[in-house]
Amino acid sequence: MTVQELPGAAAYRPTPPPAWRPRTDPAPLLPDPEPYRVLGTGAELDRALMLKLYAELVRGRRFNAQATALTKQGRLAVYPSSTGQEACEVAAALALEERDWLFPSYRDTLAAVARGLDPVEALTLLRGDWHTGYDPRRHRIAPLCTPLATQLPHAVGLAHAARLKGDDVVALALVGDGGTSEGDFHEALNFAAVWRAPVVFLVQNNGFAISVPLAKQTAAPSLAHKAVGYGMPGRLVDGNDAPAVHQVLGEAVARARRGGGPTLIEAVTYRMEAHTNADDATRYRGSAEVDAWRDHDPIRLLEDELTARGLLDEDGIRAAAEAAETMAAALREQMNAEPSLTPMDLFAEVYAEQSGQLREQAAQLRAELEAEAR
Amino acid sequence: MTTATDNTTARRADKKPATMAQALQRAMRDAMAEDPTVHVLGEDVGTLGGVFRVTDGLAKEFGEDRCTDTPLAEAGILGTAVGMAMYGLRPVVEMQFDAFAYPAFEQLISHVSKMRNRTRGAMAMPIVVRVPYGGGIGGVEHHSDSSEAYYMATPGLKVVTPATVEDAYGLLREAIACDDPVVFLEPKRLYWSKSDWSPEAPAPVEPIGKAVVRRAGRSATLITYGPSVPVCLEAAEAAREEGWDLEVVDLRSLVPFDDETVCASVRRTGRAVVVHESSGFGGPGGEIAARVTERCFHHLEAPVLRVAGFDIPYPPPMLEKHHLPGVDRVLDAVARLQWEAGH
Ligand SMILES: Cc1ncc(C[n+]2csc(CCOP(=O)(O)OP(=O)(O)O)c2C)c(N)n1
């Protein structure tokens, strides 16, 4: 029996509390029921932008394939491929100005590379020679973040600090569908909305958190719907439609820059490969589902439309493929070189000044290394 | 023109009773006035001035952007502080009570403590996490934990705790100026302890990482910190009647640990008791006793003893007096150091 069914409950009519009213009309915050699309709608396309998106998608796919191959050769400890999600990765990088910041999760190597980061520096973490292989300040890319959703409050804090300083800097934070269940996701969105921080949250909903499908992750109508409760707009976008993702992200970034506050974007996409090279995806999903998504491939979709519109021809396709191949060959070569390791660095950057304890331990390691060398 | 002597006289005249809470507030105020990148944030730190009034007046003086009432979310507070530090600010974060800092542990351990190391020094985390800690104020459940062992076990953090009004000011100033993250443990029951102090000319104190001898003695060393310092000083006074001349070392900084001062003292006295109120098993005392034993074995006349809180969840307020190590428990331990043998 529910409370309403209790005898006599129907007669109970509480008077509304004084002066209570919902603070905003949620309607403008609600996402559209269908993911936003550009491809196939006849919308106008900017040729230069489309060719740039296309080249980056092709390069990104090749990067994923090369990195996965490097795991098989033992050159990378692990690689979480973003094949199938390239449109989200590329749009994320291209939606930002140079002064903006990107807060990637462990799967977002591609976004970092598309933002201009050296591929070898981006892969240091996964190769295992150090955690963050790059200076986050140089490219304004926070370290690739492994504990899920913990980078989201960082993005909010940075955006907040930038705004306090009077800089029109925007932070873009990436998270997976599984990551939206973490407490840090909630706290970050709440802080961002209350502070009206210039942040954009992009959820790449690729269907699975390792093996767990979205239905077991949330009962919300969509992940974009979660925005409403915080008082920020939620947008749903087809994550395999590169121009659509780029446009929606661009609008959210512009809105944040204008002082309009944060946006939550859910990009609906699919992870074509396993979670990482170490995962067996056949245990939790059938090939029919994967095949169905193959027909909605982000590169194919863009290539077909650009070709149909006469914006891209055989030469253009070949040129993009060749550029990607050159990148892959260079990456292979660089990754096949042994990384230079300096064990004494273990103690170098724990504190600004080395403590007595660490000096003692460093001396111990130095002695061990010298003994080994003899 | 005044001579140095005149100055000293003038300073002395300025001194008036101040509480530890006031000294902490003054430290934040002075740091904020000197450095516009210092920001205070936390729950109720603005209009209210914090539940212990340690941030009293800061929002009024520096505005809500510098002293900010955040949403009620500890991971969010510390997580956004990480981003603020990435952009060049120096956040001073208040956790309302020891046991409410736990939701922020993930941020503290995975990011705050490791960021410098992960980024090979490119990105420091000059964050101070202020945590009112410990018991003795009659707080109900979840208001009296001593969590220092968790913090100490996390490389990359400094862990500091003042026991005097002077140190409260001096250590907090240093913590805010420090380029590494500092967990600043404020002994709750000493918030209202007073001392004659001059806010205009605070006496300089030893830097973070240095222990100090609060009371010189020859028969044994009491190694302690934070809320247990006054307990040990009282025990040392009481022990005098029994002919024991106890030295009291106030660690002040748990990380980095001052082996030098501690071991110099133990080598002089030959005996040591570690005193703290957090649980003994897996607690700071075990680490300290081991370090002292490793370094001073040949000087020791007796095993290093520990006087700690029991290995129980912090008890309800009406029973806490049975849990907290008091003067008698310290004296009992001192008695167990086999006095007959050497003295
Ligand atoms: C806090 C935390 N818990 C667990 C993990 C282990 N883990 C790594 S990836 C992953 C699934 C993440 O799924 P999702 O957020 O959807 O991102 P995706 O892998 O699909 O990109 C899990 C459980 C982790 N990295 N961090």
Q: Using the beta-carbon criterion (under 8 Å), do A153 and B82 form an inter-chain contact?
A: yes
Q: Which of A137, A159, A191 sits opposite B76 (nearest CB)?
A: A191
User: What whole-number percentage of chain A has pLDDT above 70?
Assistant: 97
**Does residue A43 have a pLDDT over 70?**
yes
Residue A24 exposed, middle or buried by CB count within 10 Å (0-12, 13-18, 19+): exposed
Predicted confidence at residue A295, as pLDDT, reads: 94
B16-197 and B212-336 agree in CATH topology: yes
What per-residue confidence (pLDDT) applies to A19? Answer: 82
- Reported as a single tens digit per residue, the pLDDT across B140-176 is 999 999 999 999 999 999 999 999 999 999 999 999 9
Cβ separation of A153 and B84 shorter than 8 Å? no
Q: In what order do the strands lie in the sheet with A199-205?
A: A101-103, A171-176, A199-205, A263-268, A234-238
Does the structural domain B212-336 have CATH classification 3.40.50.920?
A: yes
Q: Report how far residue B337's alpha carbon sits from residue A131's, in angstroms, rounded to the nearest whole number.
A: 48
Query: How far is Cα A21 from Cα A196, in angstroms, rounded to an integer?
Result: 21
**Is A207 close to ligand 1, i.e. is its CB under 6 Å away?**
no
Percent of chain B whose pLDDT exceeds 70: 95
Please give the helix or strand (H or E) that residue A118 lies within, else none.
none
Q: Strand, coil or helix: what is A263?
A: strand
Is there an atom of ligand 1 within 6 Å of A148 CB?
yes
Across the interface, of B80, B87, B158, the residue whose CB is closest to A153 is B80
pLDDT > 80? residue A163: yes
**Binary contact (B88, A161; C-beta < 8 A):** yes
User: Does the structure show a pLDDT above 70 at A8?
Assistant: no
pLDDT computed for residue A9 by the predictor? 58
A35 close to ligand 1 (CB < 6 Angstrom): no
Q: Quick one: residue B120, left, alpha or beta (phi over 0 = left, psi -120 to 50 = alpha)?
A: left
pLDDT (average), residues A299-304: 98
Tell me if residue B54 falls in helix, strand or coil: coil
Tell me the pLDDT tens digit for each residue of A317-332: 999 999 999 999 999 9
Round to whole Å and give the CA distance between A176 and A172. 14
Q: Could you report the per-residue pLDDT of A230-281, keeping only the tens digit for each?
A: 999 999 999 999 999 999 999 999 999 999 999 999 999 999 999 999 999 9
CB contact A341 to B (< 8 Å)? no
- Evaluate if residue B7 carries a pLDDT over 60: no
Asked if A190 reaches chain B (Cβ–Cβ under 8 Å), the answer is yes
Give A128 or B185, the one with higher predicted confidence: B185
Q: How far is the CA of A185 from the centre of ligand 1 (A)?
A: 13
Q: Work out the number of other CB atoms within 10 angstroms of the CB of residue B178.
A: 23
- State whether residue A126 sits within 8 Å of chain B by CB: no
User: How large is the average pLDDT for residues B15-23?
Assistant: 95
Tokens 């699919």 identify what position?
A270
The closest alpha carbon to B33, from B58, B64, B68, belongs to: B58
Per residue in A91-101, is it b (16+ CB within 10 Å) or e — as a string?
Answer: bbbbbbeeebb
Helix (H, G, I), strand (E, B) or coil at A180: helix
Query: What is the per-residue pLDDT across B181-220, written as a single tens digit (0 to 9) for each?
Result: 999 999 999 999 999 999 888 989 999 999 999 999 999 9
The contacts of residue B74 (CB under 8 Å, 6+ apart) are: B95, B100, B101, B102, B103, B104
Q: Check if the beta carbon of residue B59 is closer than 8 Å to that of residue B67.
A: yes
Three-class SS state of B281: coil
Mean pLDDT, chain B, whole residue set: 94
Q: How far is A131 from chain B (nearest CA, A)?
A: 5
Give the pLDDT score at A17.
80
Alpha carbon distance A24, A40 (integer Å): 35
To the nearest 10 degrees (0 to 180), the angle between helices A356-373 and B259-269 is 100
Weakest-pLDDT range from A13-17, A327-331, A358-362, B195-199: A13-17
Atom nearest to A85 CA in ligand 1:
21
- Cβ atoms < 10 Å from Cβ of B251: 27
Rounded to an integer, the average pLDDT of B103-122 is: 97
What ipTM score was computed for the predicted complex, to two decimals? Answer: 0.89
pLDDT in tens, B304-339: 999 999 999 999 999 999 999 999 999 999 999 976
Q: Which CATH superfamily, name and number, covers B16-197?
A: Thiamin diphosphate (ThDP)-binding fold, Pyr/PP domains (3.40.50.970)
Residue B341 confidence (pLDDT): 45
- Residue extents of the structural domains in chain B: 16-197, 212-336
Backbone angles phi, psi at A95, to 5 degrees: -75, -15
A118 close contact with B: CB closer than 8 A: no
Predicted pLDDT of residue A12: 76
Give the pLDDT of residue A309: 97
In the prediction, which pLDDT does A3 show? 47
Instruction: Indicate whether B10 pLDDT > 70.
Output: no
- What percent of chain A is modeled with pLDDT above 90? 91
The residue of A106, A160, A201 whose CB has the most chain B CBs within 10 angstroms, and thus the best one to mutate to test that interface, is A160
State mean pLDDT over B263-291: 98
> Apex CA B79: angle with CA B96 and CA A183, to 5°?
85
Check residue A175 and give its pLDDT.
98
Burial class for B100, CB neighbours closer than 10 Å (0-12, 13-18, 19+)? middle
Amino acid, single-letter form, for residue A223: L
